[in-house]
Chain A
Amino acid sequence: MFEARTRAARALLQIVVTVLTIPFVFPLVAMVQGSFAGTGWNNYRAVFEIRALPLFFRNSALIASSVILVVYACTMLAAFGFSKLHIRARETYFWLLLAALTLPEVVLLTPLFATATTLGFYDTYLAVVLPLAALQIPFTVLLARNFMDGIPNELIEAARIDGATMARTFRSIVLPLTRPIAAAIIVLTLITAWNDYLLPLVFLQNPDLQPVTLVPQFFVSQFNNDQTKVLAAAVVTAIPEVIAYLGLQRLFERGLSAGALK
């Protein structure tokens, strides 16, 4: 966008972008540096000696994959229904779903808490997975429906004329065509579920069930507020996310910025 004809001008632009980037990298540098302060690698040794550590990761993976499964199944079915099938008062249902987009998690706490304790699913994954999926679905349906609107109806009609049932058409024609949007939806849901803090904080009291976002707290109590080890724990929990992003850059960027494309 900017044009730099002279070498000096190019160098100037390069310097400007570098200076602007420094504040973004700085906290990460501070995190890594802080994690080596004091006893150096021993901070990491202390973190890895906590036997519960792999458990936190397993729990995050369990929660995230359950949310992804529920969201993916509900989203694809609903987007197909909204986009291609006959529904009376279709837009009413659609807006009913979209209105839920503005709902913050914190509003769900009290009613969910009361319901979960009454029905006995407090301190189980259901109490975290269900609200996470509920809050994610409106948005992913919006994305997937917009995408499916771009699939020509003739394609679906042709399959029907060839004798395929609607379920078969959906499975063999629609699902393969929607892979790009499905990938964006899965990544977006993965990050939302993996990074969620409030719901596990309130609904998962059993340490055996807690996800990685609760690790800093666990380590604060575990290490008597020894900052260097808490930072080492932060580095250990951040690394898988950074690696996942570096490996799937375009998917992550597309999925996470899909939020504003309406």
Chain B
Amino acid sequence: MDHEVLAGPGVRAHGAAAPRRGSRGTGQKRARRGRPRVSGVPWILPALVVSAGVVYYCIGYTGWISTLRWDGISPDRTWVGLGNYARLFQDPVFWKSMEHTGVFFVVTTTAQILLGMAFAALLHSRLRLAVLYKVAVFVPVVLAPATMAPVFRQIYAPDGQFNKILDAVGLHDLTMAWLAKPATALAVVMSIQVWQSVGVAFILYFAAMGQIETEVLEAARMDGAGNLRVLRSIIWPGVRGTTLALITLSAIASLKTFDVPYLVTSGGPSYGTEFLGTFIYRMSIPQSEVGYGAAISVMLLILALGTAIVFNAGGRDKEIRRV
């Protein structure tokens, strides 16, 4: 749970990022004085071959396939240039999946931040049985979506537990077949994602809150600040870096979403839970429109890379301004 282990022994000994930079600096100085340098290229080669090799080979191949009309198996391939891309921009299902991705990102990220903060702050408050709460929130992170999918299908079924609970608390009018309508099916998919990801947000916030100095908190309380005021004026700004990291991570995860919508709703009903991932899968495998699937893949890659760059640049910018 503590960050020090991840930061490395040098940091543990000296306390900040500065000594790292220092030690690298002296290393370079010595190297310049003429000590024979050992090349690192053979050391990084296996990783480059296994990772970058496979990844860039696949990206290149996908780029080429995206210009074809092809079923993936037959020798019969027609070059269609940018035809698949033109088709993509006119495909209402593509725009639907983009919209779902956007909604999914906003809703699940907000829920992760709010619930993660709430659990972290509450479990930093000397409650009883804190370990039990932590375990309960983190177990969903460990379980495979594939294992839990049948359970959620059961819970949200017309005769499932969710409707039974609504019934029991007198909300019988709200009971329905949750997976049968596009809007409620999307809500179900998002609820499962929140269930699975709050644990990580919680652990990160818990660690970040441990870094906030207790003197600051005590001083604020002496000045008469209440719990909510402390949360807003000290804790929230104090864990800002974690929040930004979570937003970036969640944006990329939203673009990558596949397992939950595929397993629980198969992208349906009537494309109501279609995401880019499930769209690519449906085109490439069951419908054998490999060229079209590849064009969506290329779009997804551009979006993911763009998101990573924008969020990283934005995050860094703000960080510097704060200091």
A52 at the interface (CB under 8 A from B): no
Chain A contacts of B281 at CB under 8 A? 106, 109, 198
Of all chain B residues, the one with the shortest Cβ separation from A130 is B54
Query: Can you report 17 residue pairs joining A to B where beta carbons are below 8 Å apart?
Result: A10-B127, A24-B198, A27-B140, A30-B154, A86-B37, A86-B38, A87-B39, A93-B44, A100-B51, A104-B300, A108-B58, A109-B285, A110-B294, A154-B23, A234-B148, A252-B138, A260-B249
A interface vs B, CB < 8 Å? 1-4, 10, 13-14, 16-18, 20-21, 23-28, 30-31, 34, 70, 73-75, 77-78, 80-82, 84-87, 90, 93, 96-97, 99-115, 117, 130-131, 133-135, 137-138, 141, 143, 146-154, 157, 166, 177, 180-181, 184, 191, 194-195, 197-198, 202, 212-216, 220, 227, 230-231, 234, 237-238, 241-242, 244-246, 249-250, 252-254, 256-262
Which residue in chain A gives the minimum CB-CB distance to B217? Answer: A1
B50 and A134 contact, CB distance less than 8 A: yes
Given contacts A17-B123, A30-B151, A153-B27, contact A75 B47 (CB under 8 A): yes
> What sequence of 0s and 1s flags, for each residue 282-302 of chain B, a beta carbon within 8 Å of any chain A beta carbon?
001100001001100100110
Min CB distance, B37 to chain A, in Å? 4
| Overall SS of chain B's interface | helix
How far apart sit A30 and B156, CA to CA, in the bound complex (Å)? 11
User: Number of B residues contacting the other chain (C-beta, 8 Å)?
Assistant: 117
Residues of B near A117 (CB, < 8 A) are: 73
B50 touches A256 (CB 8 A): no
Whether B150 pairs with A30 at a CB distance below 8 angstroms is: no
Which of A21, A77, A237 is the one whose CB lies under 8 Å from B147? A237
Q: Which chain A residues lie closer than 8 Å to B308 at the CB level? A: 101-102
* Contact across chains for B125 and A149 when beta carbons are under 8 A apart: no
Chief secondary structure at chain A's binding surface? helix
The stretch that binds A, out of B87-95, B129-137, B174-182, B266-274, is B129-137
* Cα-based distance from A77 to B50 in the complex (angstroms): 13
Please provide the chain B residues from 112 to 135 with a CB less than 8 Å away from any CB of chain A in the complex. Answer: 115, 118-125, 127-128, 133, 135
Partner of B139, one of A18, A100, A214, A242: A242
Which residues on A sit within 8 Å (CB–CB) of B10? 149-152
CB distance from A75 to the nearest CB of B (A): 7
**6 other contacts beyond A3-B221, A117-B73, A195-B143, with CB at 8 A cut-off?**
A24-B139, A27-B148, A93-B44, A113-B72, A134-B54, A153-B30
State whether B144 touches A112 (Cβ < 8 A): no
The total of Cβ contacts below 8 Å across the A-B interface reads 338
Q: Which of A14, A105, A113 lies in contact with B258, CB distance below 8 A?
A: A105
Check B39–A17 contact: CB distance below 8 A.
no
Q: Given that A24-B198, A213-B146 are known contacts, is A115 also in contact with B263, CB under 8 Å in the complex?
A: no
Given contact pairs A78-B44, A104-B258, A253 touches B138 in the complex (Cβ within 8 A): yes
Q: Are the CB atoms of B151 and A34 closer together than 8 Å?
A: yes
Does B62 lie within 8 Å of A110, measured CB to CB?
yes
Q: In the complex, A230→B262 CA distance in Å?
A: 18
Pairs of residues from A and B, 4 with the lowest C-beta to C-beta distance, nearest first: A150-B8, A85-B40, A81-B43, A81-B40
Task: Pick from B5, B37, B61: contact of A114, CB below 8 A.
Answer: B61
For residue B284, which residue of chain A has the nearest CB?
A110
Contact residues, B30-88 vs A (CB, 8 A)? 30-31, 37-44, 46-48, 50-59, 61-62, 65, 72-73
Cβ 8 A contact of A104, one of B44, B195, B255, B293: B255
Question: Once the chains are docked, how many angstroms separate the CA of A28 from the CA of B154?
Answer: 12
